[in-house]
Chains A and B, each alone.
Chain A
Amino acid sequence: MAGISVTAITKSFGVTDVLKGVSLDVRKGEFVSLVGPSGCGKTTLMRIIAGLETATSGTVMIEGRDVTSIRAAERDVAMVFQNYALYPHLTVAQNLAVPLVMRRLSALQRAPFVGRFVGDAAAKLAAIAEETKRTSEMLGIGHLLARKPAQLSGGQRQRVALGRAIVRHPHVFLMDEPLSNLDAALRVQTRAEIVALHRRVGAATVYVTHDQSEAMTMSDRVAVMMGGEILQIASPEEIYLNPADIRVATFIGSPKMNVFPAEADETGAVSVDGVMIGIVSPTPGPVTFAVRPEDIVPATEGIPARITHMEFLGDCALLHAESIANKSPVICRIAPDQRPRASVGDEIRLRADPAKSFLFDAEGKRLRMMRTKAQAAYV
Chain B
Amino acid sequence: MSDAASTVSMRSISQARSHRAPLSRDVVAAWLLTFPAILAYVLMVLLPLLGVLALAFTDYEFGASSFRWVGFENFADMPKDRTFMASIRNTVIYCLFVVPFSIGIALLLAILIEAGARGRAFFRAVFFLPVVSLTVAMATAWQYLLHPSIGPVNALLRTLGLGAPNWLGSSDWVMVSLGIIGVWENVGFNLVLFLAGLTAIPRELYAAAEVDGAKSAWSRFTLVTWPLLGPTLLFVMIITMTRSIRVFDTVQTLTQGGPNGASEVLLRTIYQEGFHYFKFGYSAAITLVFLAIVLVIMLVQTRLIDRHVHYG
Query: Cβ of A83: which chain B residues have Cβ within 8 Å of it?
Result: 202, 204
User: Which residues 189-226 of B sit at the A interface, judged by CB distance below 8 A?
Assistant: 202, 204-205, 207-216, 218-219, 222-224
The reply on B312 being an interface residue by CB < 8 A is: yes
Partner of A107, one of B202, B205, B219, B312: B219
- Per-residue interface assignment for chain B, residues 238 to 272, with 1 indicating a CB less than 8 Å from any chain A CB and 0 otherwise: 00000000000000000000000000000000000
CB pair A107 B216 closer than 8 Å:
yes
CB distance from A170 to the nearest CB of B (A): 9
Looking at chain A, what size class is its interface with the partner chain?
20 to 34
The reply on B228 being an interface residue by CB < 8 A is: yes
The reply on A85 being an interface residue by CB < 8 A is: yes
Partner of B213, one of A47, A85, A89, A102: A102
CB distance from B198 to the nearest CB of A (A): 15
The segment out of A69-77, A286-294, A297-305 that lies at the interface is A69-77
Q: How distant is the Cα of A47 from the Cα of B110 in the complex, in angstroms?
A: 27
Query: Cβ of A103: which chain B residues have Cβ within 8 Å of it?
Result: 213
Query: Cβ of A52: which chain B residues have Cβ within 8 Å of it?
Result: 207, 210-211
Partner of A72, one of B210, B223, B228: B210
Query: Cβ of A164: which chain B residues have Cβ within 8 Å of it?
Result: 212
Given the known A-B contacts A81-B204, A87-B223, A150-B312, are A50 and B218 also in contact in the complex, defined by CB atoms under 8 Å?
A: no
The reply on A253 being an interface residue by CB < 8 A is: no
CB pair A89 B214 closer than 8 Å:
no
Given the known A-B contacts A74-B215, A81-B207, A99-B212, are A148 and B311 also in contact in the complex, defined by CB atoms under 8 Å?
A: yes
Query: Cβ of B227: which chain A residues have Cβ within 8 Å of it?
Result: 87, 89-90
CB distance from A55 to the nearest CB of B (A): 16
Given the known A-B contacts A89-B230, A150-B311, are A78 and B205 also in contact in the complex, defined by CB atoms under 8 Å?
A: no
Query: Cβ of B224: which chain A residues have Cβ within 8 Å of it?
Result: 87
Query: Cβ of A47: which chain B residues have Cβ within 8 Å of it?
Result: 207
CB pair B228 A77 closer than 8 Å:
no
Partner of B228, one of A89, A98, A150: A89
User: Which residues 53-101 of A sit at the B interface, judged by CB distance below 8 A?
Assistant: 71-74, 77-79, 81-83, 85-90, 98-99
User: Which residues 158-174 of A sit at the B interface, judged by CB distance below 8 A?
Assistant: 164
CB distance from B117 to the nearest CB of A (A): 13
Q: How distant is the Cα of A88 from the Cα of B223 in the complex, in angstroms?
A: 11
Q: How distant is the Cα of A50 from the Cα of B213 in the complex, in angstroms?
A: 12
Q: How distant is the Cα of A82 from the Cα of B207 in the complex, in angstroms?
A: 12
Query: Cβ of B213: which chain A residues have Cβ within 8 Å of it?
Result: 73, 99, 102-103
The reply on A349 being an interface residue by CB < 8 A is: no
The reply on A351 being an interface residue by CB < 8 A is: no
Closest to A164 in B: B212
Closest to B309 in A: A89
Query: Cβ of B216: which chain A residues have Cβ within 8 Å of it?
Result: 107
User: Which residues 342-357 of A sit at the B interface, judged by CB distance below 8 A?
Assistant: none
Partner of A73, one of B202, B205, B211, B312: B211
The reply on A110 being an interface residue by CB < 8 A is: yes
Closest to B218 in A: A107
CB pair A85 B219 closer than 8 Å:
no
CB pair B228 A88 closer than 8 Å:
yes
Query: Cβ of B209: which chain A residues have Cβ within 8 Å of it?
Result: 98
Given the known A-B contacts A74-B215, A107-B218, are A88 and B311 also in contact in the complex, defined by CB atoms under 8 Å?
A: yes
Closest to B203 in A: A85
Most buried by A among B204, B205, B216, B227: B204
Most buried by A among B204, B208, B216: B208
Q: How distant is the Cα of A81 from the Cα of B202 in the complex, in angstroms?
A: 12
Given the known A-B contacts A85-B202, A87-B223, A89-B311, are A77 and B211 also in contact in the complex, defined by CB atoms under 8 Å?
A: yes
Query: Cβ of B214: which chain A residues have Cβ within 8 Å of it?
Result: 73, 102
Query: Cβ of B202: which chain A residues have Cβ within 8 Å of it?
Result: 83, 85
CB distance from B164 to the nearest CB of A (A): 42
User: Which residues 19-58 of A sit at the B interface, judged by CB distance below 8 A?
Assistant: 47, 50-52
Q: How distant is the Cα of A86 from the Cα of B210 in the complex, in angstroms?
A: 13
CB pair A110 B219 closer than 8 Å:
yes
Most buried by A among B202, B218, B223, B230: B223
Query: Cβ of B207: which chain A residues have Cβ within 8 Å of it?
Result: 47, 50, 52, 72, 79, 81, 85
Q: Give chain B's interface residues, CB within 8 Å of chain A.
A: 202, 204-205, 207-216, 218-219, 222-224, 227-228, 230, 311-312
The 8 tightest CB contacts between A and B, nearest first, are A102-B213, A85-B208, A85-B204, A89-B227, A73-B215, A99-B212, A72-B210, A150-B312
Q: List 13 A-B contacts (CB under 8 A).
A: A47-B207, A50-B211, A81-B208, A83-B202, A85-B202, A85-B204, A87-B208, A98-B223, A99-B212, A102-B223, A103-B213, A148-B311, A164-B212
